[in-house]
Structure 1
Amino acid sequence: GGYVANSLAIMTDALHMLTDLSGIILTLLALWLSAKSPTKRFTFGFHRLEVLSAIISVLLVYILMAFLLYEAVQRTIRMDYEINGDIMLITAAVGVAVNLIMGFLLNQSGHLHSHSHSHPHSHVPQSNSPNAARSHGHSSLAVRAAFVHALGDLVQSIGVLVAAYIIRFKPEYKIADPICTYVFSILVVLTTIRILCDTGVIILEGVPRHLNVDRIKEDLMKIEDVYSIEDLNIWSLTAGKTTAIVHLQLVPGSSSKWEEVQLKARQLLLNTFGMYKCSVQLQSYKQETSKTCASCQSSSA
């Protein structure tokens, strides 16, 4: 329809929808693979495939955006093109309808995937804490990426429909065609920057924004017989699946309570803070003795 109407706005909408279709295929493939059991080589499983799928989907749109921006600038400068308003109007209306259906389906898919992630692999009863609720509320990055694309398509399609209506009845305002591409480019940046930030945090193994490391340390220190926290590492396998490793030092003479302390620490991390997996390492506190090195002794002499 865009080629027949000679409308860059329609071609932009169609190519973006084609990109979203490939993104959806990548999303479904990633969700299928991420549900597979861990292997000897990939002991954490394939959860990061969702993150990889989200990045590829966003990059495809950025490449498309750069190409269409170039074409829009050329049309704005030259103004040597004619547009068939009737075909543009019909095609734009069909595009709006398709994007409404696509957005609805992806939104439902995101809710279902979020619920499937809300059951941690633990036999410990669940807590109703706000931290756990926020963690379980995160939906898949891959589904979010595809849904944001569909939402951007819908907004763009509505804009194209308005532009088609203007061009159909006011052909002298054909500049509305490349203007749609400019607006689309801005919307792409605004709607995908959050996804890129989230994927960046996951790839760099940063702490999810809904967790406070200082608060976690404070609560761990409140457990009886915990003397200090030697080390605490928190990262995400993918959105909504946070993992933690903590190394605790216990007060001297508390070796008989190790299992009790470990259970309390696991319950705190899994239930209160909504961790997907956690590992708790314990050791008795040993005061470090300062030793003077030979070079220091010789220098002082």
Structure 2
Amino acid sequence: MSVHDHGHTSDHDHHDHDHAGHGHAPKVSTGNERAVLIGLCLTGAFMVAEVVGGYLSGSLALLADAGHMLTDTVALFLAWLGFRLGSRPADARRSFGYSRLEVLAGLINALTLFVLVGWIAYEAVQRLFAPEEVLAGPMLVVAVLGLIVNLVVFRILSSADADHVNIKGAMLHVLGDLLGSVGAIAAAVIIWLTGWMPIDPILSLLVSLLILRSAWALLTRTFNILMEGAPDGVEPEALGNQLVETIDGLAGVGHLHVWSLSSGQTMATLDIALRPGADPATVTSAVKSALMDQHNIAHATVEIDWTGTCADCPAAPTPHQ
């Protein structure tokens, strides 16, 4: 049986952070945080304007697009919140800081979006059976302004660190809302030229599908994090085998757990068994380097199984020559 006694020697990688300031959030520059904040203000302000415009013009498509802009606003807010909270120091009770608040906010957002989609779908069906008059002129003006705002926000975000997980997610939200704005413009033009009112609820249903897709992706992502599931693209068993096959002196890996603290903050704990004569410090350092370089796992707790049995470890390959 594998020995998993916490009295054993273990190596807890803090990556140059002291315990009081135990930060694990991805490094984000002030410029990135500022870009997200500007995008948040622009999107949130126009979302309110679009709600007003949709109400005054009678356009359900505009209201649906405003709902999609709500997803953008929340996505940008979560990105900014992640940056802001990630910079706060940990305390005695919260040794990992406040990053998981981002995940809780995301879960609440996803559930709210499902309610929003249900309301849009209900209203759209009602209007298909009893079309209501829509003022094409005001609807077109608001939709065009919405498109311009989305283009500006997308440009601002693309000038920041587009490889960062939070910024990339926000950009995808804004890109989806660009399609919603285009749909609202198309509906306004069709109503203006033909007077065919059902196009408004039809396109509002299409926009609601975009919202539903974003909501489902956000729900599954946040639920997986809260359940401490392995992040997408990480298979613990395959990861353990890869470590054993590529690191000299490593005989086996067991009790491997990989999970996310919040978006982009992956963590791992594992036991390792050493080959005879292997240097513990060298092997441990190699394991942590591999986890960081190949899987972006910046925080790993590695415990050495001194018995060398590691019953649940994968079979060790032939030693490297």
Pairwise TM-score range, normalised by the shorter structure: 0.7 to 0.9
Tell me how far 1:27 sits from its aligned partner.
3.6
Tell me how far 1:246 sits from its aligned partner.
1.2
1:78 aligns with 2:130: yes
Change (3 A) 1:63 1:109: farther
1:279 to 279, 301, 304: 301
Distance 2:78 2:270 in 1: 35
| TM-score normalised according to structure 2 size | 0.70
Is contact 2:110-2:216 (8 Å) kept? no
Deviates further, 257-266 or 217-226: 217-226
Deviates further, 156-165 or 182-191: 182-191
SS of the residue corresponding to residue 279 of structure 2 reads helix
Name the counterpart of 1:218. Answer: 241
Is contact 1:205-1:235 (8 Å) kept? yes
Name the counterpart of 1:195. Answer: 218
Gaps of 5+ in 1: 115-138, 289-301
Tell me how far 1:272 sits from its aligned partner.
3.5
Distance 2:158 2:249 in 1: 47
Alignment coverage as a number of residue pairs: 257
Tell me how far 1:13 sits from its aligned partner.
2.4
Name the counterpart of 2:88. Answer: 36
Tell me how far 1:108 sits from its aligned partner.
4.2
Residue identity in the other structure for 2:104: L
SS of the residue corresponding to residue 305 of structure 2 reads strand
Is contact 1:100-1:154 (8 Å) kept? yes
Q: Which has the higher contact order (CA 8 A, sep 6+)?
A: 2
Name the counterpart of 1:131. Answer: none
Within 5 A, what are the aligned runs for 1:112-123? 114=164
Aligned CA RMSD, in angstroms, stands at: 2.7
Tell me how far 1:148 sits from its aligned partner.
3.7
Distance 1:17 1:273 in 2: 33
Name the counterpart of 1:161. Answer: 185
| Alignment deviations for residues 157-184 of structure 1 (CA, whole Å, 9 cap, x no partner) | 111111101111211x111111111111
Change (3 A) 1:110 1:195: farther
Is contact 1:57-1:146 (8 Å) kept? no
Tell me how far 1:7 sits from its aligned partner.
1.8
Tell me how far 1:78 sits from its aligned partner.
1.8
What percentage of residue pairs aligned between the two structures are identical? 31
Name the counterpart of 1:121. Answer: none
SS of the residue corresponding to residue 111 of structure 1 reads coil
Is contact 2:114-2:215 (8 Å) kept? no
Change (3 A) 1:61 1:105: farther
Name the counterpart of 1:261. Answer: 283
Residue identity in the other structure for 1:33: L
SS of the residue corresponding to residue 260 of structure 2 reads strand
Distance 2:70 2:284 in 1: 51
1:64 aligns with 2:116: yes
Within 5 A, what are the aligned runs for 1:5-20? 5-18=57-70, 20=72
Residue identity in the other structure for 1:237: L
1:89 to 122, 140, 144: 140
1:111 to 162, 180, 184: 162
Change (3 A) 1:237 1:270: same
Distance 1:159 1:176 in 2: 10
Gaps of 5+ in 2: 1-52, 311-321
1:238 aligns with 2:290: no
SS of the residue corresponding to residue 203 of structure 2 reads helix
Change (3 A) 1:100 1:40: same
Distance 1:52 1:287 in 2: 40
Is contact 1:3-1:11 (8 Å) kept? yes
Is contact 2:61-2:207 (8 Å) kept? no
Is contact 1:145-1:192 (8 Å) kept? no
Change (3 A) 1:85 1:251: closer
SS of the residue corresponding to residue 304 of structure 2 reads strand
1:25 aligns with 2:77: yes
Residue identity in the other structure for 2:98: F
**Which protein has the bigger helix share?**
1
Distance 1:287 1:277 in 2: 25
Is contact 2:274-2:308 (8 Å) kept? no
| TM-score normalised according to structure 1 size | 0.74
Change (3 A) 1:243 1:86: same
Tell me how far 1:30 sits from its aligned partner.
3.3
Name the counterpart of 1:136. Answer: none
SS of the residue corresponding to residue 184 of structure 1 reads helix
